[in-house]
Amino acid sequence: MKRTQIFMLSAVLMVCALASWRLSKSVAAASSPQQPSQPAPALAANIDRQVSRVEKLIVDVAEAMPEDKFNFTPESLKIPGSDYTGVLTFAGQVKHVAAGNYLIWSTVMGDKLAEELFNDGRGPDNLKRKAEIVQFLKDSFALGHKAAATLTPENMLQSAGRSTRISMATFCVEEAYNHYGQMVEYLRMNGIVPPASREKSN
């Protein structure tokens, strides 16, 4: 009888201890705030993130295209029923994005553009090799980061070209996405899965 009482008492104490531990754990969880969200970045940082996003996508597709395909254009595929006459080559797309970056980000900063960098949207004619073209692209995005850093709530609605600085900045990134979309198609036409799609399927 005595042994039974000791056993029962031990069991009750164990249950109480377990309940107490679980209760304290749940109270601690409820009273400590959830992991705080990271704060939203300021305007300049916001635009900078946008530049970074499209920069990574476009630099990655440029790197993914083999050098011997850099002058690829869909015209060469002679797809029945298509007409790609005179469209940009892959290299032309990359240089065009970079030239546009130079033009628009310079405008956002109120700087005068060196004409040879834009060259009617073609970028410098002397850039032929993949490494040179990719470097030109990267340098143009570096200017984008520099321009983004100058944007503040006070100056973002200032006139730039026919529009405002903030609108130009948004437009520049948006247009880069347009060309990214075209470059993705050029890659796929060569049997290459765009790097961003590879990441998603992994």
Partner 1 sequence: MNWFLPSLMWRALAPVAMTLLVSVGANLPSQAQTQNQPPSPARSRSEEMLDRWNDIGNKLIVMAQDFPEDKYDFKVQKDERTFALNLLHAAALDFVLIRRISGSNLGPDFGEGDNPSRDLFKTKADVVKFVQEAVANGAKVIQEQGDAGLDNTTKFFGNRLAHYSNIWAFAIEHSGEHYGQLVVYYRANNLVPPDTRRKNQ
Binding status of residue 178 toward partner 1 by CB under 8 A: yes
Which residue number, 118 or 134, has a Cβ lying nearer to partner 1?
Answer: 118
**Is the Cβ–Cβ distance between 123 and 155 less than 8 Å?**
no
Nearer to partner 1 by Cβ, of 134 and 169: the residue is 169
- 139: tokens are 């340098």
Cα–Cα–Cα angle for 40, 41, 42, rounded to 5 degrees: 125
Q: Which is nearer to partner 1, 94 or 134 (CB)?
A: 94
Cβ atoms of 148 and 54 closer than 8 Å: no
Give me the amino acid identity at 189.
M
> Is the Cβ of residue 61 or residue 134 nearer to partner 1 in the bound state?
61
By CB under 8 A, the residues from 58 to 77 that bind partner 1 are 74
Among 124, 138, 155, 171, binds partner 1 (CB under 8 A): 171
- Rounded to 5°, the CA angle 99-144-161 comes to 70
Task: Give dist(CA 175, CA 102) in Å, integer.
Answer: 13
Binding partner 1 (rule: CB under 8 A), the pick from 96, 117, 127, 144 is 96
145, 137 in Cβ contact below 8 A? no
Pairwise CA distance, residues 61 & 72, whole Å? 14
Contact flag: residue 122 with partner 1 (CB under 8 A): yes
Dist. CA 69–CA 113, nearest whole Å: 30
Residue type, 29: A
The rounded distance, in Å, linking the Cα atoms of 49 and 170 is: 12
Contact range with partner 1 by CB under 8 A, out of 6-14, 24-32, 89-97, 135-143:
89-97
SS3 state of residue 160: strand
Q: Is 175 in the site for partner 1 (CB under 8 A)?
A: yes
Binding test (CB under 8 A) with partner 1, winner from 86, 91, 114, 144: 86
Asked if 83 touches partner 1 (CB under 8 A), the answer is: yes
172 is a site residue for partner 1 (CB under 8 A): yes
Residue choice 107, 123, 143, 148 for contact with partner 1 (CB under 8 A): 107
The answer to whether 35 contacts partner 1 (rule: CB under 8 A) is yes
Task: Enumerate binding residues for partner 1 (CB under 8 A).
Answer: 35, 37-41, 43, 46, 49-50, 53-54, 74, 79, 81-88, 92-93, 96, 100, 103-104, 107, 113, 120-122, 156-157, 159-164, 166-168, 170-186, 188-189, 193
